[in-house]
């Protein structure tokens, strides 16, 4: 198993794109000339930005060649780059009026160093806008780790083998960016998604949080068996509602750091 699957990710395109819309709507930068979407994925977040600022020069960057290929096919007039976010942050080849990232920075190491570098790539008067999942210790993620640590599976997951995503809390991002930002907005939202059934929760995580566990396993049969065990662990906690579907809460962290015009 290798590479990101755009089709798997886009099974929940509406739910995954809504936080992007919410973040873009809060950015107080009028008529930006240059916008970059870091971790652009298959282009669903980029489409929001292109619609929001149709006159801007737009660039999308993602580490997945599969995601970039999909975005390029969907939006051939834009500029697409396969690359690493941390490496881009450390470079010095130009600034952007809006540096945007929707649900990607959780895969990037060393937020204390990378976030200020990202702000340095923002042009004076512009903004760094980031949304990341804020629920690494939520029940679905705890259950992934519990299944992996169970007697049946712990031999397949030696310590340090699974590269999970990560996040910090609000105080960390405030302390990291407030000293170098002209203004900083921080907030969190818990989205309550209505999914068809508990199987849909597994499908959701196959496109994101479950991937690091599935990538460790060597065969499709093992991956299917692990997903089945994970599904069984979820069932008692996500019962079907009388009106239909299951309720799937998902907390996300947002920040917008503004660059002063004289910085």
Any bridge partners for residue 187, and if so which?
254
Is the per-residue pLDDT at 5 higher than 60?
A: no
Whole-angstrom CA distances from 55 to 31, 32, 102 are 8, 8, 21
Q: What SS3 class is residue 30?
A: coil
Strands 183-195 and 122-133: unpaired
Measured at the alpha carbon of residue 216, what is the angle toward residues 212 and 219, in degrees to the nearest 5?
A: 125
Query: What is the pLDDT at residue 42?
Result: 85
Query: What is the pLDDT at residue 2?
Result: 47
Query: What is the pLDDT at residue 260?
Result: 93
Predicted model pTM: 0.92
Any bridge partners for residue 81, and if so which?
61
Query: What is the pLDDT at residue 1?
Result: 40
Question: E strands within the chain?
Answer: 34-38, 57-62, 79-82, 96-102, 122-133, 183-195, 246-258
Task: Provide the sign of the torsion angle of the four alpha carbons 88, 166, 2, 73, taken in this order.
Answer: negative
Task: Provide the sign of the torsion angle of the four alpha carbons 92, 93, 95, 96, taken in this order.
Answer: negative
Mean pLDDT, residues 125-141 = 97
Tell me the Cα Rg of the chain: 19
Is the per-residue pLDDT at 227 higher than 70?
A: yes
Mean pLDDT, residues 93-115 = 96
The closest of 87, 98, 253 to 166, measured between CA atoms, is 253
Q: Are 15 and 191 in contact (CB under 8 A)?
A: yes
Give the residue with greater pLDDT, 82 vs 9.
82
Query: What is the pLDDT at residue 32?
Result: 97
Query: What is the pLDDT at residue 77?
Result: 86
Mean pLDDT, residues 234-259 = 97
Buried b (16+ CB within 10 A) or exposed e, 131-146: bbbbbbeeebbebbee
What is the spatial order of strands in the sheet that 183-195 belongs to? 79-82, 57-62, 34-38, 96-102, 122-133, 246-258, 183-195
Model confidence over 37-58: pLDDT tens digits? 999 988 888 899 999 999 999 9
Give the residue with greater pLDDT, 30 vs 2.
30
HSE-CB of 104 using CA atoms within 13 angstroms = 31
Among the residues of 53-190, which ranges form H helices?
A: 65-74, 85-90, 111-120, 139-148, 170-177
Query: What is the pLDDT at residue 44?
Result: 84
Fold classification of 6-258 is Rossmann fold (3.40.50)
Query: What is the pLDDT at residue 235?
Result: 98
Helix (H) or strand (E) holding 7: helix 6-9
Query: What is the pLDDT at residue 263?
Result: 45
Mean pLDDT of the chain: 92
Mean pLDDT, residues 214-222 = 95
Q: Are 66 and 4 in contact (CB under 8 A)?
A: yes
**Domain segments of the chain as ranges:** 6-258
Query: What is the pLDDT at residue 3?
Result: 53
């Amino acid at each position: 198993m290798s590479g990101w699957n755009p089709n798997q990710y886009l099974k929940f395109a509406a739910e995954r794109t809504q936080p992007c819309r919410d973040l873009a709507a809060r950015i107080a930068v009028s008529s930006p000339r240059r916008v970059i979407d870091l971790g652009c994925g298959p282009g669903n977040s980029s489409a929001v930005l292109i619609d929001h600022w149709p006159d801007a020069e737009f660039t999308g960057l993602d580490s997945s060649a599969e995601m970039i290929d999909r975005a390029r096919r969907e939006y051939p007039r834009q500029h697409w780059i396969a690359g690493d976010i941390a490496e881009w942050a450390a470079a010095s080849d130009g600034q952007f009026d809006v540096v945007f990232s929707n649900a990607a920075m959780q895969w990037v190491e060393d937020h204390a160093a990378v976030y200020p570098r990202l702000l340095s790539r923002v042009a004076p008067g512009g903004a760094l806008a980031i949304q990341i999942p804020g629920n690494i210790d939520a029940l679905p993620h705890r259950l992934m780790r519990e299944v992996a640590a169970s007697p049946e599976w712990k031999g397949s997951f030696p310590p340090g083998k699974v590269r999970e995503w990560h996040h910090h809390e609000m105080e960390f991002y405030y302390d990291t960016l407030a000293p170098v930002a002209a203004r900083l907005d921080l907030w969190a939202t818990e989205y309550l998604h209505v999914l068809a059934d508990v199987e849909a929760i597994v499908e959701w995580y196959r496109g994101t949080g479950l991937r690091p566990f599935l990538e460790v396993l060597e065969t499709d049969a093992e991956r299917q068996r692990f997903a089945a065990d994970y599904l069984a662990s979820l069932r008692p906690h996500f019962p079907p509602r009388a009106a239909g579907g299951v309720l799937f809460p998902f907390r996300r962290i947002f920040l917008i750091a503004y660059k002063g015009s004289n910085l």
